[in-house]
Amino acid sequence: MSEVLNVEKIFNQNVFTLGKMRERLPKKVFNEVKNVMDYGGELSLATADVVAKAMKDWAVENGATHYTHWFQPLTGVTAEKHDAFVTNPDEEGKMLMEFSGKELIKGEPDASSFPSGGLRATFEARGYTIWDVTSPVFLKEDATGVVLCIPTAFCSYTGESLDKKTPLLRSMEAISEQALRIVRLFGNTEATKVTASVGPEQEYFLVDRDKFLARKDLIYTGRTLFGAPAPKGQELDDHYFGTIRERVGAFMHALNIELWKLGITAKTQHNEVAPAQHELAPIYDTANVAVDHNQLIMETMKEVAERQGLACLLHEKPFAGVNGSGKHDNWSITTDNGVNLLDPGDTPNENKQFLLVLACMMKAVDRHADLLRQSASDVGNDHRLGADEAPPAIISIFLGEQLDDIVQHIIRDGVATTSKEGGKLETGVSTLSDISKDATDRNRTSPFAFTGNKFEFRMVGSKDSIASPNTTLNAIVAEAFCEAADELEKAEDFDTACDALIQRYMKENYRIIFNGNGYSEEWVEEAARRGLPNIHSMVEAVSTLTTDKAVALFEKFGIFTRKELESREEVLYEQYSKVINIEALTMIDMATKQYIPSVIKYTKELADTVLSVKEAGADVSVQSDMLNEISVLLKEAKAALETLKLSQKKGIEMEGKDRAFFCKDTIMVDMDNLRAPIDKLEMLVDKDFWPVPSYGDLTFEV
């Protein structure tokens, strides 16, 4: 019998929690830290020294030898530089271990070596990492030993944000300030802040590590650049929520333990739609902690998978023709006295505060649909969005029957006197209880769906950081709240003015509501008639960051300066071009060194067979036809390879936006043209000659 796992004992084992702080810090010091966490401000250096010593002592007791400022640069992944606690030995040669408040609060990584979009030149190296006191420090355990990780923001010497965390924290303060104005209008004087909370559902694939290492495309790019479909894919829907295989179950078990040690509330696990695809969902947390935790989830998935002889694929579309992976970003806003502003209550038609918040959400999403689309853009997500497995690239809001009925009544009559009830669901089986039914169904094709007491932003890519989507969400909703509060705070008759504003916002922005099938061509046509933006790709979305509308939004709340937005625009174009260039070079390498030589070997053997059979006087028509078919495809592949080589060389001579669009419009087309004949050849060439594991090998042999 296996050892019983004590979850309560291991949970937060590797986190310097508030409870551990309270135990180890003097009461006055703890109160000062807690006050800064709750209300902002700066710690005195004396307090920081006390906190740093307590952290170091706790970390060393748990085996740590180093510490690091753990931050999230514009690469989309995390960064860390380890420094040992050791200092110069004393007179008797005894090693000392120290960690000061100054070292806790500030670090100095090389800012020129991270993407900056021109904010930093190569010779301008200085940058700073600053401790985010609102996100708990934690211990990472791996082959390097135990390291104390301090979540930090990252900025340049001249003060511009170079990371994902700083704008997110700014946006959280913005939405808190503006949402407080809304709840004050309704008499809530107890709340002191409003917190954006997030629960991201993480999808991923697991494949055998040896097979992963046999494919250069998976190693270098995270997705298969070649590959014919397996005889069976996801047609029978038998993988979704199916029995979890032993090997996968062992991975999930080990993953949960590691995540629970880090205080990550991993709750739900199941098989997803595609073979070898799975999902993990944590419980909600404040937005910045949820972002940190999601980065840790992705890092830990990869580490645990490697230890188990597996590889974890986080790319949005690792296999063509099968379900891609997303990250549903569940977002809500709650006061610190327990009021969820997105909870409609039992009678939403009478809940005026909720209706005002809903009207503001409609306005925010309609006005900034382009920015919301951009926030979910990355290179891999271009392969997934709109592919009948994920929301389309068109932003719309799903409200469901109950809320949509209320909204329509308000638009028409100024008020909704009733709301649809969910009722009872009768099973027709005497031994099964009748259950209460929700007032509305769900819509999996909607990119931005209301799901009871939150909005689910379903467009986010599986490997992408959730910092950008939540920064944008916080910002656009803060703006709508601000404009509503500006108007209502001056109203002589609040109730009348509020009713009128709700009706006006809902009427002006109703075009953003769509409750139908987002996968249908009819919706694409309807969205165009409504004037909704349909931004097909990442590179087309990038420019939305620097429109006058976007700059005004972000500068109004101090989330981004124009300079910071322009730098991110440049970084995104560069990242797109680099990813496509790596993919093109990988295809060239695989086609040149693996596929074409393997096919040539097979055609030689087939030709020898044709010759020997012909000499024996037998009919060789079948073999000859097959040889001719393979030879035609081989010639087509060789021509496509040469075309791709030329376009790849031309691409690297270009820069910025021009290069990014050339990659999308030319190099990507040439890559598809090379893939097509090689995938057809895979279906004809003897498997013993094929140089890499097939889709079937990768997705069904785990």
325 occurs within a structural domain: yes
Spatial neighbors of 588 by CB under 8 A, at least 6 apart, are 641, 644, 645, 648
Length of the chain: 702
| Predicted local distance difference test score (pLDDT) of residue 125 | 74
Note the maximum CA span of the chain: 103
> Which two tokens mark 332?
């809500």
| Angle, helices 287-307/467-488, rounded to nearest 10 degrees | 170
**Quick check: 387 pLDDT over 70?**
no
Residue where the block lists tokens 């998978």: 305
Whether the predicted model's global pTM rises above the 0.75 cut: yes
CATH of the domain at 213: 3.30.590.10
**Quick check: 506 pLDDT over 50?**
yes
| Predicted local distance difference test score (pLDDT) of residue 501 | 98
**529 with 600, same domain?**
no
**158 with 188, same domain?**
no
* pLDDT > 90 fraction of the chain, expressed in percent and rounded: 80
Question: What DSSP element (H or E) covers 82?
Answer: strand 82-84
**216 with 95, same domain?**
no
pLDDT digits (tens, 9 = 90+) for 22-59: 999 999 999 999 999 998 999 999 999 999 999 999 99
**196 with 115, same domain?**
no
**282 with 253, same domain?**
yes
Confidence of residue 443 (pLDDT cuts 50, 70, 90): confident
CATH of the domain at 691: 1.20.120.1560
pLDDT digits (tens, 9 = 90+) for 265-305: 999 999 999 999 999 999 999 999 999 999 999 999 999 99
pLDDT digits (tens, 9 = 90+) for 257-275: 999 999 999 999 999 999 9
569 occurs within a structural domain: no
Residue where the block lists tokens 């035609």: 632
> 3-class DSSP state for residue 689?
helix
**67 with 175, same domain?**
no
| Predicted local distance difference test score (pLDDT) of residue 122 | 65
CATH of the domain at 149: 3.10.20.70
Confidence of residue 390 (pLDDT cuts 50, 70, 90): low
**590 with 556, same domain?**
no
| Predicted local distance difference test score (pLDDT) of residue 542 | 97
Contacts of residues 432-439 at CB distance under 8 Å and 24 or more positions apart, as own/partner, are 439/400, 439/401, 439/402
Inter-residue contact 700 to 275 (CB < 8 Å):
yes
Domain edge (last residue) among 163, 180, 208: 163
- Mean pLDDT within 449-453: 93
CA atoms of 139 and 333, how far apart (whole Å): 30
Q: What does DSSP say about strands 138-142 and 266-271: parallel, antiparallel, or unpaired? A: unpaired
154 occurs within a structural domain: yes
2 occurs within a structural domain: no
**178 with 156, same domain?**
no
Average pLDDT, the chain: 93
**Quick check: 658 pLDDT over 90?**
yes
Confidence of residue 1 (pLDDT cuts 50, 70, 90): very low
pLDDT digits (tens, 9 = 90+) for 66-90: 999 999 999 989 999 999 998 877 6
568 occurs within a structural domain: no
Confidence of residue 388 (pLDDT cuts 50, 70, 90): low
- Mean pLDDT within 443-466: 93
**144 with 264, same domain?**
no
**Which residues form the domain of 148?**
7-163
**239 with 317, same domain?**
yes
Confidence of residue 153 (pLDDT cuts 50, 70, 90): very high
**309 with 193, same domain?**
yes
CA atoms of 301 and 280, how far apart (whole Å): 10
> 3-class DSSP state for residue 138?
strand
| Predicted local distance difference test score (pLDDT) of residue 423 | 75
> 3-class DSSP state for residue 275?
coil
Contacts of residues 344-353 at CB distance under 8 Å and 24 or more positions apart, as own/partner, are 344/403, 344/453, 347/419, 348/402, 348/403, 348/406, 348/419, 349/406, 349/409, 349/415, 349/416, 349/417, 349/418, 349/419, 352/186, 352/495, 352/498, 352/499, 352/502, 353/182, 353/183, 353/186
Domain edge (last residue) among 526, 560, 594: 560
- DSSP letters, 317-357, are -SSTTS---BEEEEEEEEETTS-BTT---S-GGG-HHHHHH
- Mean pLDDT within 172-177: 98
Q: How many domains does the chain have?
A: 3
- Mean pLDDT within 308-329: 95
| Percent of the chain that is helix, strand, coil (3-state, to 5) | 50, 15, 35
| Predicted local distance difference test score (pLDDT) of residue 615 | 76
- Mean pLDDT within 535-556: 97
Q: Where are the alpha helices (DSSP H) in 535-620?
A: 538-542, 548-556, 562-590, 596-615
Q: What does DSSP say about strands 285-286 and 194-208: parallel, antiparallel, or unpaired? A: antiparallel
567 occurs within a structural domain: no
211 occurs within a structural domain: yes
502 occurs within a structural domain: yes
Write the CA distances from 479 to 46, 206, 337, 579, 586, integer angstroms.
39, 41, 23, 34, 44
| Predicted local distance difference test score (pLDDT) of residue 489 | 97
**Quick check: 2 pLDDT over 90?**
no
pLDDT digits (tens, 9 = 90+) for 188-222: 999 999 999 999 999 999 999 999 999 999 999 99
Domain edge (last residue) among 163, 195, 223: 163
Question: What are the residues facing 163 on neighbouring strands?
Answer: 73
CA atoms of 131 and 152, how far apart (whole Å): 4
- Mean pLDDT within 113-117: 85
**254 with 351, same domain?**
yes
